[in-house]
Amino acid sequence: MSDRDRERLPTNLPAPVAIPPEPAGLEPAVGREGSLYADAWRQLRRRPMFIVSGILIVILALMAVWPGLFTRADPRLCDLADSLLRPSRLHWFGTDVQGCDYYARTIWGARVSITIGVLVTAASTLIALVLGSIAGYYGGIVDTVIARITDIWFAIPTILGGIVILRSIFSTRGLLQVSLVLIVLGWPTMLRLVRSSVMATKEMDYVDSARALGVRNFRIIRRHIMPNAVAPVIVYATITVGVIISAEAALSFLGVGLQLPAISWGLMISVAQNRILTAPHLLLFPGLFLSVTVFSFILMGDALRDALDPRLR
Amino acid sequence: MAAILARDTVGGRPVDPAAPLLVVEDLRVEFRIDAGTVRAVNGLSYALNRRETVAILGESGSGKSVGAQAVMGIIDSPPGFVTGGSVRFRGVELLGLPEAERRRVRGNRIAMIFQDALTALNPVFSVGWQIAEMFRIHRGLPRKEALEKAVELMERVKIPSARERAGSYPHEFSGGMRQRVMIAMALSLDPEILIADEPTTALDVTVQAQIMSLLAELQQQTGMGLILITHDLGVVAEVADQVVVMYAGREVEKGPSLPVYHRPAHPYTMGLMDSLPRRDVHTERLRPIKGSPPDLLAIPAGCPFRPRCPFAREACSREEPPLAAVSPDRVSACHFWEEVSRERAGA
């Protein structure tokens, strides 16, 4: 046994490192940039759809993190004397009923919208990744239980469920409460996606191959299934950010989302509806920002799908 | 050193140094699906010794791959169940070992390579990473050292400029080179048995020969036993010591490969031979086996090969032929094996 091992140990081979790199016909290490994601990145960099949505998302993210970069005005420092001014050089977007600078409020509104969009998407993706990969990989009874519960949950309409929960359970409704409700209602769709993606990936030969070489289940899921199964999840998650932002706006508009004095686009639109004829700019600006934001994330999702889905290449 | 000592037990049981590497006895596997029960493997037996090659021959759906997966313990269950028989690795029964022990056998003692190396390698990691993973998870080597060993292995399977190629991804390799990468992965832990599931089917002929000779060379160096799953009789004749021919989940003929090749004693083996182009016999047209394999959900009574068999007669539909001894080391599951082997002797 032991001399067999010795004869097999590669250390006995003549130092191979010395061989000059290069035999004929091999292009010099095409190397690192060959994987699915590197390919996707190379393709994305040249796509106008990706560049446009990328720039918009970066601007929106900056707006959310440092609104001070875009406006000096304090969105909460209002002068009733300035109520309902039309857009002017002093107040680019005009002012609202309270006389607050509408441009400042619109900029500050990005923070809530984007925070909710990203937070809800991240949390429901996490739930979906954990439960979905367990269900998809192990199958059997575990899968049946998870999948059926998901189906039942899936049947609750997001907005209707949101109205019921937000009205009946919470006495105050802030960013956290609204996010929580959207997470609770949002994960089933994502989970179904993860589960089906994992089930498809599980059938690949390299998963069998890893099993045949004694790799543990957990590591197979983490290293062999996840990196190959997440492409559609990334795409869907990106689109979901946009969808959640509009869902928050819808809830706020319906009066069950955020409450004043919070600053959010949905809330601004809600307040604006009474004065749509006298002060249309109150509806126009938050509506425009909301649409552009949702549009950017959906565009980004499409660009990612084109790049990550090999069938579309 | 510890690793070498530890090799001498499997699942806590000491291995028997006198026992063959692998003994498979009357293995039975079935799949319980909505449409019914598929008996994919129905009594498969063979023994494998060091430096020996056993070929399992059959067409798609004959149960040859499922049999190998049962030996590895990687059948998806449900729907697949090993319902009977025995798989003994150096005397230690593997069926019924806890999953953790089974996993330790995989890769370390019995490794497997697959037909299409493009799909059997993970597309998102470089090949060096994938080979190194074996050392990292089974031997606990740090990343750098593991990668170093991966490069050595890639050189051992004769991948040119291995060091540079270690950073490349599977789709950047040719089919033959990819199969070499798979072989390197499988050999990383010095397994005593290598199961090769149609290792050359996806390759063109010249590359097939290179891969087969690489496997033979590695087998000579390491003394490992090779289980070769194939539908290519030519490959069998060249490299296998023993051959098991399977049809519809059953063994139909079994014995030393050259006698089986030259003088088949089962009409199915003979059909496989006739459907092969040969250099030594001039033929205008190849003669394929007529018909197709039976639906495994509804295998007809009697001999499963009967509907396609030129020798079939009434007895064949009444009774499933038992394994008859053709010679001391050879069996055939045909009522009329004598007639069949006379046929070929005359030709």
| Tokens read off for A191 | 């989970």
Q: Which residues of B touch A216 (CB under 8 A)?
A: 103, 137
CA distance A144 to chain B (A): 13
Helices (H), chain B: 2-6, 64-72, 99-105, 117-120, 127-139, 143-156, 162-165, 175-187, 205-222, 233-239, 257-262, 267-274, 314-318, 337-346
Q: Which residues of B touch A212 (CB under 8 A)?
A: 72, 74, 106-107, 111-112, 114, 195
Q: Which domains does chain B have, with CATH numbers?
A: 2-109+191-244 (3.40.50.300)
Cα–Cα dist B192/B55, whole Å: 16
Contacts with A, B 220-249, CB within 8 Å: 221-223
Place of tokens 């047209």: B285
Strand partners, B193: B110, B225
CB of B116 within 8 Å of a chain A CB? The answer is: yes
CB of A224 within 8 Å of a chain B CB? The answer is: yes
Mean pLDDT of A83-104: 74
**Cβ neighbours around B17 below 10 Å, total:** 9
Q: Is B245 exposed, middle or buried (0-12, 13-18, 19+ CB in 10 A)?
A: buried
Q: What are phi and psi of B27, to 5 degrees?
A: -70, 135
pLDDT bracket for residue A313 (50, 70, 90): very low
pLDDT digits (tens, 9 = 90+) for B302-313: 888 888 888 888
CA distance B92 to chain A (A): 17
Distance set, CA A251 to CA A39, A181, B12, B41 (Å): 40, 11, 62, 59
Q: Note the pLDDT of residue A243.
A: 87
Residue A27 in domain: no
Please name the member of A1, A31, A216 whose beta carbon is closest to the beta carbon of B4.
Answer: A1
Q: Is the pLDDT confidence value at A311 over 60?
A: no
Helices (H), B223-318: 233-239, 257-262, 267-274, 314-318
pLDDT bracket for residue A33 (50, 70, 90): very low
Determine whether the interchain pair A208/B162 forms a contact, defined as Cβ–Cβ distance below 8 Å: no
% of chain A surpassing 90 pLDDT: 9
Q: Is the pLDDT confidence value at A212 over 50?
A: yes
Helix (H, G, I), strand (E, B) or coil at A46: coil
- Residue A59: which domain range? 36-82+108-312
Of B143, B125, B166, B180, which is closest to residue A34 (Cα–Cα)?
B125
Strand partners, B331: B254, B325
Please name the member of B4, B112, B137 whose beta carbon is closest to the beta carbon of A212.
Answer: B112
Please name the member of A28, A37, A213 whose beta carbon is closest to the beta carbon of B124.
Answer: A37
| Tokens read off for B31 | 């799949």
Strand partners, B42: B28
Q: Note the pLDDT of residue A309.
A: 66
Name the closest residue on chain B to residue A34, using Cα atoms: B169
Q: Which residues of A touch B221 (CB under 8 A)?
A: 7-8
Name the closest residue on chain B to residue A211, using Cα atoms: B74
Please name the member of A10, A211, A228 whose beta carbon is closest to the beta carbon of B156.
Answer: A10
Sign (positive or negative) of CA dihedral A12, A14, A18, A22: negative
Helix (H, G, I), strand (E, B) or coil at A132: helix
Distance set, CA A185 to CA A168, A188, B230 (Å): 15, 7, 52
Mean pLDDT of B163-184: 87
Residue A72 in domain: yes
CA distance B170 to chain A (A): 9
Cα–Cα dist A215/A7, whole Å: 26
pLDDT bracket for residue B1 (50, 70, 90): very low
Contacts with A, B 309-328, CB within 8 Å: none
The three-point CA angle B173-B152-B102 to 5° equals 85
| Tokens read off for B218 | 């590695």
Domain CATH number, residue A236: 1.10.3720.10
Name which of B75, B161, B218 to mutate to probe chain A: the one with the most chain A Cβ atoms within 10 A of its Cβ: B161
Whether residue B199 is preceded by a cis peptide bond, meaning omega within 30 degrees of 0, is no
Residue A57 in domain: yes
Residue A31 in domain: no
Determine whether the interchain pair B182/A209 forms a contact, defined as Cβ–Cβ distance below 8 Å: yes
Residue A179 in domain: yes
**Which are the contacts of B29, defined by CB distance < 8 A and separation ≥ 6?**
B39, B40, B41, B63, B66, B67, B70, B75, B80, B81, B82, B83
Please name the member of B8, B124, B161 whose beta carbon is closest to the beta carbon of A22.
Answer: B161
Q: Is the pLDDT confidence value at A74 over 60?
A: yes
Residue A11 in domain: no
Cα–Cα dist A139/A157, whole Å: 27
pLDDT bracket for residue A106 (50, 70, 90): confident
CB of B174 within 8 Å of a chain A CB? The answer is: no
Mean pLDDT of B10-14: 78
pLDDT bracket for residue B278 (50, 70, 90): low
Q: Is the pLDDT confidence value at B285 over 80?
A: no
Determine whether the interchain pair B72/A212 forms a contact, defined as Cβ–Cβ distance below 8 Å: yes
Place of tokens 């289980």: B227
Of B257, B205, B252, which is closest to residue B226 (Cα–Cα)?
B257
Q: Note the pLDDT of residue B2.
A: 45
CA distance B15 to chain A (A): 12
Mean pLDDT of A78-84: 71
Q: Which of A25-29, B106-110, B260-264 has the lowest mean pLDDT?
A: A25-29
Total structural domains in chain A? 1
Mean pLDDT of A286-295: 87
Q: Note the pLDDT of residue B190.
A: 87
Cα–Cα dist B281/A43, whole Å: 54
Residue A250 in domain: yes
Cα–Cα dist B69/B74, whole Å: 5
Q: Are β-strands B225-230 and B193-197 bridged in parallel, bridged antiparallel, or unpaired?
A: parallel
Mean pLDDT of A277-283: 80
Mean pLDDT of A139-152: 89
% of chain B surpassing 70 pLDDT: 95
Q: Is B270 exposed, middle or buried (0-12, 13-18, 19+ CB in 10 A)?
A: buried
Determine whether the interchain pair A4/B223 forms a contact, defined as Cβ–Cβ distance below 8 Å: yes
**A to B CB pairs, distance under 8 Å:** 134
Q: Note the pLDDT of residue B327.
A: 85
Residue A1 in domain: no
Q: Is the pLDDT confidence value at A12 over 50?
A: no
> pTM to 2 decimals?
0.72
pLDDT digits (tens, 9 = 90+) for B243-260: 999 998 888 999 998 888
Mean pLDDT across chain B: 84
Contacts with A, B 177-196, CB within 8 Å: 182, 185-186, 189-190, 195
Q: Note the pLDDT of residue A124.
A: 93
Helix (H, G, I), strand (E, B) or coil at B266: coil
Q: Which residues of B touch A211 (CB under 8 A)?
A: 72, 74, 106
% of chain B surpassing 90 pLDDT: 14
Q: Is the pLDDT confidence value at A16 over 60?
A: no
**Which are the contacts of A263, defined by CB distance < 8 A and separation ≥ 6?**
A75, A76, A105, A108, A109, A111, A112
Determine whether the interchain pair B122/A223 forms a contact, defined as Cβ–Cβ distance below 8 Å: yes
Q: Is the pLDDT confidence value at B66 over 60?
A: yes
Q: Taking the mean position of all CA atoms in its chain, how far away is CA B59?
A: 13
Q: Which residues of A touch B182 (CB under 8 A)?
A: 209
Helix (H, G, I), strand (E, B) or coil at A213: coil
